[in-house]
Amino acid sequence: MSASNVSVIFDAPGPKGRVVSRVIGIGGILLCILLGALALYLLRNQILNWDYWARFFEPRSWTRFILPGLWSTLKAAGVAVVLSIIFGLVFGVLRLSHLKVLSIPAGIVVEFFRAVPVLMMMLLGYYFLLYNPGIVAPNQMAFVGVVVGLTFYNGSVIAELVRSGVHSLPKGQREAGAAIGLTRNQTLFSVLLPQAVTAMLPSLLSQLVVVLKDTALGYIITYPDLLRSVQNLFPSGGVMVALLFAAGVYIILNYGLTLFASWVERRLRVRRAGKSVGVGAVPVRGIANTNIRPDA
């Protein structure tokens, strides 16, 4: 957004306003530095202990703890993402149905799972399998519990994205579909959904970050994710070092997903802009190359 547009929306700060903004900004930075220094001082015996950090340079630590935990995190996140997209598309379409017998139950399901915390759904899935043995193998109960919790919550969020994306389209899209003889379902699947999915794709990709972060909640149900595996590397101390290392890995992974989502958003924006320019630049055959004399 250009500076002229910003000045239209917001009043430009005066000299006193700029001084106050600088003071608040500098004060916030100094406060963060002070709190960081205080935390470093209080935890100096843990964070500044080289014996703890040296464990990350041992090959055994990576082969037995870090890499298996990272694989467990990515595996649970990947399966949950696929199932969440399927769940979200199905229930999003059901909520858009003009049949009340389909839209009302779908709306209840979506709103219920959006309201229940992810950890509670993981616990429900885990204990359901624990008290009903034989459904899955005992060593897969924690994995299924994590995937169930992530799927139901994030699938409900995606379903709401689908519904809101379709409703955000101009009404002329529906009218155009009806004008050419399409039924409601044909208009939904052929006209509305493709546009809605394209528009909400950046939001869908951003939801991947939420899925990846929430896999850490599997720690509560003994799922051997990255957080639990790194903590198992320090059985007798060094908890803060383990947490800092795991936080750094999560930051790198989530930052990579954020960059990917931003790249996709830019590509879609350029593609839509290119199509708009292309449509506007099409010459009308028989008119553009016709010389009309004033005295004709």
In a domain, 202, yes or no: yes
pLDDT of residue 177: 76
Half-sphere exposure at residue 136, Cβ-oriented, CA atoms within 13 angstroms: 14
Residue 153 within any structural domain of the chain:
yes
Position 106 pLDDT exceeds 60: yes
In a domain, 259, yes or no: no
CATH of the domain at 83: 1.10.3720.10
Distance from C-alpha of 251 to C-alpha of 260, rounded to nearest angstrom = 14
241 is a domain residue: no
Domain count for the chain, please give it. Answer: 1
> Residue 140 pLDDT > 60, yes or no?
yes
Amino acid at 224: P
Provide the percentage of residues in the chain whose pLDDT is more than 70.
87
Tokens of 59: 């090959």
Q: Quick check: 44 pLDDT over 60? A: yes
Range among 32-41, 43-52, 85-94, 232-241 with highest mean pLDDT value:
85-94
Mean pLDDT, to the nearest integer, of 257-274?
Answer: 75
pLDDT reported for residue 281:
46
Residue 148 falls inside a structural domain: yes
Question: In terms of Cα–Cα distance, which of 234, 198, 215, 249 is closest to 52?
Answer: 234
Residue 42 is encoded by which pair of tokens?
């209080």
Give how far Cα 121 sits from Cα of 22, 105, 125, 217, 275, Å.
45, 19, 6, 11, 44
Distance linking the first and last C-alpha atoms of the chain: 49
Residue 46 within a domain: no
Domain that holds residue 106: 75-226
The answer as to whether 288 is a domain residue is: no
Angle between helix 193-214 and helix 67-95 axes, rounded to 10 deg: 150
Lowest-confidence range among 18-22, 214-218, 281-285?
Answer: 281-285
| Residue reference for tokens 């007798």 | 236
Q: b or e along 266-292 (b: 16 or more beta carbons within 10 Å of the residue's beta carbon)?
A: eeeeeeeeeeeeeeeeeeeeeeeeeee
CA distance 124 to 217: 13
Residue 59 to residues 51, 107, 128, 144, 257, Cα–Cα distance (Å) = 15, 50, 38, 30, 27
Residue 233 lies in a domain: no
